[in-house]
Amino acid sequence: MSNWVPPAHFVSGILSEWAEDVKEATDGRVTVRILPKAVGSPPQHWELARKGVADITWGNWTYEPERFKAVWFAEVPFTGDSAQASSQALWDTYNTHLASNSVFDGVKVLGVGTLGPGVINHGNKEMSKPADFENQKFRMGGPIQKVLIEGLGAIPVAAPATKAYEMLNSGVIDGSLHPMESVVNFRVDGVLNHHTKIPDGFYDAAFFLAMNEGKWNKLSPADQEAVMSVSGEAFARLWGSTFDTQSADAETKLKAEGHKFHQPSEELMALIIDSRQKLLEDWAAEAKEFGVNNPWEVVKYHRERYEAYAGK
């Protein structure tokens, strides 16, 4: 398995726990060895699994947004406040509506996960009204976040989260989009002091755990069943619950350090609602081009599964 975050990162802990679960479920017949160093850059990890350069990889579908447009519905505003529920809902939706899509050919998707609710973070002032966003530059990732930032009247600046501290510190950007956990884990809590939490999230991001299809097919049916017993919905639950804990702990830490938390105004919420609707309408209009023949059914099913898992 190729893993592109450091061993100390909590995602490495998720992957190690899953690997142990696989070993136990198969009575040691299947073991997952996490390589000491990634065999490619983060955006390459889907291809690394598809081509068999690594047997198993994980990654963010947003790194190849046009290729994986089929999953955009899971990254728009109001996906949900619970990463556990949204991860489980995404797994169910993938299994029911997306698994046969040709874009996923060549790999066995073992699991999925989400970040949980994305937050609007700023370096030095409250961001709760549309006027607050005028001429403000925000680091963002991917086309959905670009549309959202522009919808608020701000200026989007594309860059990976790992560059956020440097860009904030040098004044290249004024704010940055992160879930709560990333503010702490990317060590930008010293330069991002104001946080506007949008109910059910300003955005989300979708991740995969993938295995080379040929390698998967070499496993016995019994071992395949055993591996999936600790993958799929179980992996989504593990992934999401860990992200929820990380974000809750991060918020507690930031509040203790005196960070300011803000609520969006009705006017700001109206802009986000409009952007979400436009994103979904545009996505649905193009859906057949990327193999989704029933886009609104997918959106409805995904929301229903989220609400079921979240107990709403």
Proportion of the chain above pLDDT 70, given as a percent: 100
Q: Are residues 34 and 71 in the same domain?
A: yes
CA torsion, ordered 124, 127, 132, 137, to nearest 10 deg = 60
What is residue 273's predicted lDDT score, i.e. its pLDDT?
Answer: 98
Q: How far apart are CA 148 and CA 307, in angstroms?
A: 24
**Residue 270 lies in domain:** 118-201+259-310
What is residue 111's predicted lDDT score, i.e. its pLDDT?
Answer: 98
62 in a domain, yes or no? yes
178 in a domain, yes or no? yes
What is residue 147's predicted lDDT score, i.e. its pLDDT?
Answer: 97
221 in a domain, yes or no? yes
Q: Are residues 24 and 64 in the same domain?
A: yes
Cα torsion 280, 283, 284, 290: sign: negative
pLDDT of residue 83 exceeding 80, the answer is yes
| pLDDT tens digit sequence for 196-226 | 999 999 999 999 999 999 999 999 999 999 9
| pLDDT tens digit sequence for 239-295 | 999 999 999 999 999 999 999 999 999 999 999 999 999 999 999 999 999 999 999
- Predicted TM-score (pTM) above 0.85: yes
Q: Are residues 23 and 94 in the same domain?
A: yes
What mean pLDDT comes out for the span 51-75?
96
pLDDT of residue 162 exceeding 90, the answer is no
pLDDT of residue 312 exceeding 90, the answer is no
Proportion of the chain above pLDDT 90, given as a percent: 98
Q: How far apart are CA 200 and CA 100, in angstroms?
A: 29
What is residue 54's predicted lDDT score, i.e. its pLDDT?
Answer: 98
Q: Are residues 213 and 182 in the same domain?
A: no
5 in a domain, yes or no? no
Q: How far apart are CA 263 and CA 302, in angstroms?
A: 26
